[in-house]
Amino acid sequence: MPDVKKVLIVGGGSAGWIMAAYLNGALNKKGTEKNIDITLVESPDIPSISVGEATIPSIGHILGVIGLNEREFMKATNATFKQSIKYANWLNNEGEFYHHPFSRYRPGPIDRSAQDWIGSDRKIPFTETVSAQAMICEMGLAPQMLGEWDFGTKLKYAYHMDAAKFANYLRDFSVPKGVKHLLANVTKTNIQENGHIKSVQTACGKTLSADLFIDCTGFSAHLMEKALGVGFEDCSQWLLCDRAAVMHIPYDDYFPSQVRPYTTATAQSAGWIWDIPMSIQRSIGYVHSSAFITEEQAQKELHAYEGAHSGAYETKFINFKVGRREQAWKGNCIAVGLSGGFIEPLESTGIYLCDLAAVMLAEHFPFTQNAMEAMAFRFNRILTNRFYEILDFINMHYCLSRRTDTDFWKEVQKPEHITDRLQAKLEFWKLKLPSTADFDDQFFPGQTSASLSGHGDVRRPIDTAGLWNHESYEAILYGMDFRGPEFENKPGHVRHPVRVPEFIIQRLHGARQKLPPHHIWLNQVMGMHQYEMHTPPPGWGKA
C-alpha cells in the first residue's frame, strides 16, 4: 500500500496551527527530519475570532513537543498564569464561591479527605482542606518565584492568552521549521470514487492534493460537512447556552489593581461570565441562552458586571451550537476545532480539544493507506469518549445549582437536561463517595444502554477520567454542596471541626514569603507594563 506522506490542513487559527506545529514537532522532530510534508492553507479574508483563551495544564506537553520557550511564548501571546477556575454565585446566588484548582494535596495511600470533610462542620470550603492553591489564588500570587524555585513541590498551572496571537506565534515558529503556508480561499473539494478527498481547489486556480486532510475551517466545516456530508450531533439539550457577548478591557484604560492568577466564572441570570486576565487587557464574555435573554439584556448584565467604564467598549456577539461531529475522522479527513464540535468553555476545554486531536493524530498517524481505517476507528473512539466526559462534567455544574431566581436556572436543573451518564454517577455517589474505581467502565445501576449511532462503533461512550478524575469531581460536587442538606438534617449527628492538614497551613505561610503577586512577577520577569491602578467596581473582588 502507498505511504501517507502529505498532510494538508485547510484553515488556520489556533486549531490549524496547533495541528501543524505539533505534527511537525512530533513526527518531523521539530523540523530536523522530513517524515511527512505539512501544508496549511488559510483564507486571507476571514479574520480570526480574537478572544481571551484559558487553558489547562496539558498545554505544557504541547509547548514542549513543539519546542517553544515558555517565556517567549508568554510574551508573544500576552499570556498570564492560570492556577484554578473560580466559580461565583452558582449555588444560591448569595455571593458564594469555590475553586477548582490544578494542584491537590494527598495525605497518604488512602485519602479520606472528602469523607472527613463531609462529617465536619464544613466551616472551611472543601477545596481549601485538600489544596493550598485556592488560597494562593485568593492572595493573588504567581505560581513561580522571582528567583530559582526552592518551595517544594511545584504548583501546576496553565495560561490565559490571546488565541489569535497564539496562532500567529505558532505560524511564525513553524514555517521556518518546514511547514508550508499558503494564503488562499478554498472553493472546491474533489472526491475520489472511494469517498476519500483527492484534492481541493483555490480561488486562484491552484489544486492542492494530499494523502490526509485536516478540516480546521470552523463552524462551516467545509470538508467534513459540506464535502463529505458527516452529520452533527446536537447536544444543546444538556447545555442550553448558545451565544456569547464578548468584550475586552485594556489596562491602559482600566487596571483593577491586580492580575488574577485564575479564571473566574460568575453565574448570571441566563448563563455565566468568563473573566480572563492577560498581560495587557482582560477579556470578559457572557455565555448565555438566547431563549432566556435578549442581546440587549445580555449586554446590560455584562456592563453591570464590569462597571460604568465598560460602556466605552464594543460588545461582540458569537453564536454557537453545542455538539459534536458524528465522526471526527472519516476516510482521509479529520475535523479539528470548531469543525469537529463545540462545548461551552466553562472548564477551558476549547484549545484542549485541539491539543488532544493533535496528540492523538501523532500517536495514530496512518503512515500507510491500509492503516487509515484502523487508526480512524481508534481516533474516533478516543475523541468521542473525551467529548462526552467534558459534556458530563460541565453539565454537572448546572444541574447541582439550587438557584430559583430566574427561569434559566430553574430549567437547567430539570432531569431532562441532565445526561443519563451523569444522572447515574450522581445517584451512585449518594451511596458511596467518588473514587478511582468509578471510572473503570462507567456503567452504574440505573444507567441506560444507549449507544453510539453506527459508524462502525456501537458501544456506549464512557468516561475514562482522561481529563478529570474523582478528585476533580469532588471539587465541583462539594463546592456545590452535594448531599449537604442530607447531612445537615441527619438526626443525632455530631459534627467535628473541619481539619486542615498541617502541610497546607505551612504551604500557605511559605507562599506569602516565597511567591510574588502575579502582576509583580509579570512586571519583573516578563516586562509587563506598570499600569495606573484603578479602584475596582463594587463586588469585583468577590467574583
Q: State residue 52's pLDDT score.
A: 81
The arithmetic mean of pLDDT across residues 217-235, rounded, is 97
Which phi and psi angles does 78 have, rounded to 5°?
Answer: 55, 40
- The set of residues, in sequence order, having a beta carbon less than 8 Å from that of 418 and lying 6+ positions away, is 238, 395, 399, 426
pLDDT of 339 > 50? The answer is yes
DSSP symbols for 128-147? HHH-SHHHHHHTTB-SS-SS
Q: State residue 543's pLDDT score.
A: 45
The arithmetic mean of pLDDT across residues 334-362, rounded, is 97
Instruction: Tell me the domain boundaries of the chain.
Output: 6-77+160-235+322-386
Report how many helices (DSSP H) and strands (DSSP E) the chain contains, helices first: 16, 22
Distance between CA atoms of residues 133 and 264, nearest Å: 15
Judged by DSSP in three states, 389 sits in helix
Distance between CA atoms of residues 318 and 239, nearest Å: 16
- In the residue annotation, 82 being an active-site residue is answered as yes
1.10.3720.10, 3.50.50.60, 3.30.300.10, 3.30.70.100: CATH of 6-77+160-235+322-386: 3.50.50.60
Distance between CA atoms of residues 24 and 33, nearest Å: 9
Q: Which of 292, 286, 317, 291 is nearest to 304 (CA)?
A: 286
Which one has a higher pLDDT value, 499 or 456?
499
Work out the widest C-alpha separation in the chain, in whole angstroms.
80
pLDDT of 458 > 90? The answer is no
Distance between CA atoms of residues 230 and 339, nearest Å: 11
Given pLDDT bands bounded at 50, 70 and 90, which one contains residue 540? low
pLDDT of 538 > 80? The answer is no
Cβ(394)–Cβ(418) below 8 Å: no
* pLDDT > 70 in the chain, percent: 95
Q: State residue 377's pLDDT score.
A: 94
pLDDT tens, 151-161?
A: 999 999 999 99
Q: State residue 49's pLDDT score.
A: 65
pLDDT of 490 > 80? The answer is no
Give me the count of residues in the chain: 543
Q: Which of 221, 213, 219, 218 is nearest to 196 (CA)?
A: 213
Cut 0.85: pTM above it: yes
What are residue 273's DSSP bridge partners? 266, 286
pLDDT of 73 > 50? The answer is yes
Distance between CA atoms of residues 17 and 68, nearest Å: 13
Judged by DSSP in three states, 184 sits in coil
pLDDT tens, 109-151?
A: 889 999 999 989 999 999 999 999 999 999 999 999 999 999 9
Q: State residue 445's pLDDT score.
A: 79
Burial group, residue 297, by CB count within 10 angstroms (0-12, 13-18, 19+): middle
pLDDT tens, 18-50?
A: 999 999 999 999 999 999 999 999 999 887 666
pLDDT of 449 > 70? The answer is no
Judged by DSSP in three states, 418 sits in coil
E strand or H helix at 521: helix 518-526
pLDDT of 457 > 80? The answer is no
Task: Kindly tell me the sign of the dihedral angle through the C-alpha atoms of 91, 97, 102, 105.
Answer: negative
Q: What is the mean pLDDT of the chain?
A: 93
Q: From the candidates 5, 6, 30, 82, give the one annotated as an active-site residue.
A: 82
Q: State residue 444's pLDDT score.
A: 76
* pLDDT > 90 in the chain, percent: 86
What are residue 64's DSSP bridge partners? none
What are residue 283's DSSP bridge partners? 248, 276
pLDDT of 484 > 90? The answer is no
Q: Which of 526, 537, 506 is nearest to 71 (CA)?
A: 526
Given pLDDT bands bounded at 50, 70 and 90, which one contains residue 452? low
